[in-house]
Amino acid sequence: THNDGYISGQFSFANNLIIGSATDGGTGTITALGTGAQTYSVHSSAPRTCVLAINKTSGALTPNPGTNILLVQGINQIAGNFTAPAGTLSVGGSWNNSTVIYNHTDGAFTHNNGLVIFEPYSNCFWGTYGLNIIPSTLFYDVMMNGGGSCGVYATFTIAANDTLEASNTLTFNNGRVNSNHVACQSTVYIVSGYDGGNSNLILTGNNSGIIDATGAAAVYDGRITIAKTNASKIVTLNSALVMDGAGQSLVFSKGRIISTAGNLLELGDNVTVSGASDSSYVSGLVRKSGNDAFAFPVGKTSVGGTYNYAPIIISAPSTTTAQFTAEYFLTNPDPLYSIASKTSSIHHISSTEYWILDRTTSTANVSVSLTWAARSGGVVSPASDITVAKWDGSQWIDQGNGGILGSAASGTVISSGVVTAFSPFSLGSRIGLSPLPVELTSFTAQCTDSEILVKWVTQSELNNNFFTMQSSIDGSIWTNIAKISGNKTSNQTKNYEYSVSKNEFESNPVYLRLKQTDFNSTETVFPSIYLAPCKENNNYTFQIYPTPSSDYCYVESNSYINNFTVYNSLGQVQKTEIQSLSPNKIKLNMQALVTGVYYLQLYSDGRIHSIKIVKS
């Protein structure tokens, strides 16, 4: 029993530990060394004892039932198992010298879904406190809280090659963390009292995560690494995140960052980015400041669920105050930026993708490079055909072809000179051979007396082998119902028509879509349309794209759309921004919704329709 006072020196116990109401810490050590089960009990006033060591050849030290808190000046787990309380394990107390406050060399640590706070108190000096952690150790909630007096705070150092990892939340509250790695599988909070630190923050795990730096957007100064288990996992910014520290970098491995205008990822001068790929990129806006040549690590998910890295690249601006913001869109720029309106030197504009690149501050001019890959829909051949195109507010302007890097299947084209005004950018074709193999301009379906008549129109085709028509009753599981030959390569409008028996869909709604296959087996899946039951004898259709969607979803109808509401799978109304782009087209902002299935209820032709939408 440690009932009161301050402990110095070495003590041990073979049975149970009882911590009384008036203990006052101490730099000494109490060691659990019994060979059987041992427990610890703490007075309800939550006093702090000295360093607790676990050195057991068998058995475990666990909290006594009803004990939900444990405050110690240090933990030294040498051998044997230790279970933290389900509430709070506080490691710290008052120290007048730098020391290792958490040392784990063997035995299992069980977090018990509790919070571990590292909170040494430095008395008017810059204390440095070590954390030694074995690879198997996984905390649940962790808070770094290096407080102090006289305006000074503690510095935490993690031993070489060690990683402090939290499975739930990680909070940088006070002090700083220097050297090596800190990881979190879920939510990272950066609080304004935190003092920078240069440790590598790793976003890990098999679930999506969050970074929330509300009120402390520019506080964290270390490297940040996105290392989820796969590309389907996201890290959502719940606040602005400004990376502008000296030597700071952003490293992509697996997983995507979700950045919006309200919660923006901002990268400062000399901050570097590496590792971006189809498996890891930013879905949304990225802002870059400084005089660095820079490839914006942006991308989007396709309608078919494929992840696509699509950087837009600028040459080095002339001043460190220059600031550019970019975002990539894997969708037709039309009708927002009409692809039919273009200068005479451009044969056609990509109907597959475009970028927004804005010069936020300064008047610096830069060269702009655009990339193409399988997501773009085709190959670039000959190289002289591709060009950088820029929307000037009324038409697409030819910015030239200043050189090609890469291959016909994937590469980069740079503008022939510097760009002096900024706006949407897209790939253009000068002689009509590339890019974009199939440009689908319409896809409709309607019920007749005996069948469903499906029609679609292409404006251009390149190496188009065939179309596969698919149907689905829920918009998720698709069945092939027909194969229709393509027109190989064509720069002329082609009309297609196919009849489908309506027996199967007479009493049920159906989704229809096209999958296009090139001669090299490359496939492109186009947005689906919705057809109400033929039994209702109606001719209205809905087109929903992209689905699944992580950011925005568009719904078009062949009739007026009004009075729309979004519900979750439980029937609860969701607060979302829905913008009417025209009488028969709406834009739904999906960014505030969590991953899952939703239903858009809308009124059209005097009827109520419920459309399934998937948020990725």
Residue with tokens 């820029």: 390
Q: What are phi and psi of 374, to 5 degrees?
A: -55, -30
> Global pTM?
0.73
> How many beta carbons lie within 10 A of that of residue 404, not counting itself?
17
3-state class (DSSP) for residue 534: helix
Q: How far apart are CA 265 and CA 288, in angstroms?
A: 9
Q: Say what the pLDDT of residue 244 is.
A: 93
Percent residues over pLDDT 90 in the chain:
57
Kindly state the DSSP code that residue 558 receives in the 8-state scheme: S
Stretch 579-595: mean pLDDT, rounded?
81
3-state class (DSSP) for residue 383: helix
Q: How far apart are CA 398 and CA 393, in angstroms?
A: 14
Residue 528 reports pLDDT greater than 90? no
Give the residue with greater pLDDT, 458 vs 533: 458
Stretch 565-580: mean pLDDT, rounded?
73
Contacts of 331 (CB under 8 A, 6+ apart): 352, 353, 354, 545, 546, 554
In this predicted model, what pLDDT tens digit does every residue of 241-260 receive, in sequence order? 999 998 899 999 999 999 99
Please, which pLDDT band fits residue 493 given cuts at 50, 70 and 90? confident
The contacts found for 40-47 with CB under 8 angstroms, 24 or more apart, are 40/16, 40/64, 40/67, 40/70, 41/16, 41/17, 41/66, 41/67, 42/67, 42/69, 42/70, 42/71, 42/85, 43/19, 45/21, 46/71, 47/19, 47/20, 47/21, 47/22, 47/23, 47/71
Q: Which of these ranges, 21-30, 246-255, 383-392, 517-526, has the smallest mean pLDDT?
A: 517-526
Q: How far apart are CA 231 and CA 309, in angstroms?
A: 11
Q: How far apart are CA 586 and CA 241, in angstroms?
A: 31
Residue 538 reports pLDDT greater than 60? no
Residue 375 reports pLDDT greater than 90? no
For residues 544 and 277, is the Cβ–Cβ distance under 8 A? no
Q: How far apart are CA 78 and CA 89, in angstroms?
A: 18
CA atoms within 13 A on the CB side of 123: 6
Please, which pLDDT band fits residue 377 given cuts at 50, 70 and 90? low
Average pLDDT of the residues of the chain: 87
Residue 435 reports pLDDT greater than 60? no
Q: How far apart are CA 346 and CA 85, in angstroms?
A: 68
Percent residues over pLDDT 70 in the chain:
91
Q: Say what the pLDDT of residue 551 is.
A: 81
3-state class (DSSP) for residue 535: helix
Buried b (16+ CB within 10 A) or exposed e, 330-361: bbbbbeebebeebeeebbbbbbbbbbbbebee
- Order of all β-strands in the sheet with 294-296: 294-296, 312-314, 368-372, 411-414, 404-406
Q: How far apart are CA 422 and CA 412, in angstroms?
A: 19
For residues 55 and 29, is the Cβ–Cβ distance under 8 A? no
First to last CA, the chain: 54
3-state class (DSSP) for residue 376: helix
Residue 303 reports pLDDT greater than 80? no
Q: Say what the pLDDT of residue 597 is.
A: 73
Kindly state the DSSP code that residue 82 receives in the 8-state scheme: E
Q: Say what the pLDDT of residue 75 is.
A: 98
For residues 390 and 416, is the Cβ–Cβ distance under 8 A? no
Q: How far apart are CA 216 and CA 129, in angstroms?
A: 24
Q: Say what the pLDDT of residue 141 is.
A: 98
Question: Interior CA angle at 2 toward 104 and 93, to 5°?
Answer: 50
Residue 143 reports pLDDT greater than 50? yes
Q: Say what the pLDDT of residue 439 is.
A: 65
Kindly state the DSSP code that residue 317 receives in the 8-state scheme: P
Stretch 105-113: mean pLDDT, rounded?
96
Provide the β-strand partners of residue 414: 369
Q: Which of these ranges, 238-242, 336-340, 429-433, 471-475, has the smallest mean pLDDT?
A: 429-433
Calculate Rg over the CA atoms of the chain.
Answer: 30
Contacts of 367 (CB under 8 A, 6+ apart): 314, 315, 402, 414, 415, 417, 418, 419
For residues 403 and 348, is the Cβ–Cβ distance under 8 A? no
Question: Interior CA angle at 204 toward 245 and 568, to 5°?
Answer: 105
Highest mean pLDDT: which of 170-174, 439-443, 570-574? 170-174
Tokens of 18: 């009882």
Beta strand extents in 491-561 (DSSP E only): 494-501, 510-518, 523-525, 528-531, 541-545, 552-557
Q: What are phi and psi of 375, to 5 degrees?
A: -60, -25
Kindly state the DSSP code that residue 342 receives in the 8-state scheme: B
Please, which pLDDT band fits residue 378 given cuts at 50, 70 and 90? low
Tokens of 338: 């009409």
User: Is the alpha carbon torsion for 406, 411, 414, 416 positive or negative?
Assistant: positive
Q: Say what the pLDDT of residue 452 is.
A: 83
Residue 607 reports pLDDT greater than 60? no
Q: How far apart are CA 530 and CA 313, in angstroms?
A: 38
For residues 429 and 387, is the Cβ–Cβ distance under 8 A? yes
- Stretch (H or E) spanning 452: strand 451-472
Contacts of 300 (CB under 8 A, 6+ apart): 283, 308, 310, 328, 329, 330, 550, 551
Q: How far apart are CA 153 and CA 329, in angstroms?
A: 45
Please, which pLDDT band fits residue 433 given cuts at 50, 70 and 90? low
Please, which pLDDT band fits residue 537 given cuts at 50, 70 and 90? very low
Q: Say what the pLDDT of residue 438 is.
A: 65
Q: Which of 201, 294, 289 is nearest to 250 (CA)?
A: 201
Residue 25 reports pLDDT greater than 70? yes
In this predicted model, what pLDDT tens digit does every residue of 202-240 receive, in sequence order? 999 999 999 999 999 999 999 999 999 999 999 999 999
CA–centroid distance for 311 within its chain: 16
Q: Say what the pLDDT of residue 335 is.
A: 79
Q: How far apart are CA 71 and CA 1, in angstroms?
A: 15
Tokens of 534: 């033929």
Tokens of 478: 């698709």
Q: Prior bond to 335 cis, omega within 30? A: yes
Helix, strand, coil shares of the chain, percent, nearest 5, are 0, 55, 45
Please, which pLDDT band fits residue 596 given cuts at 50, 70 and 90? confident
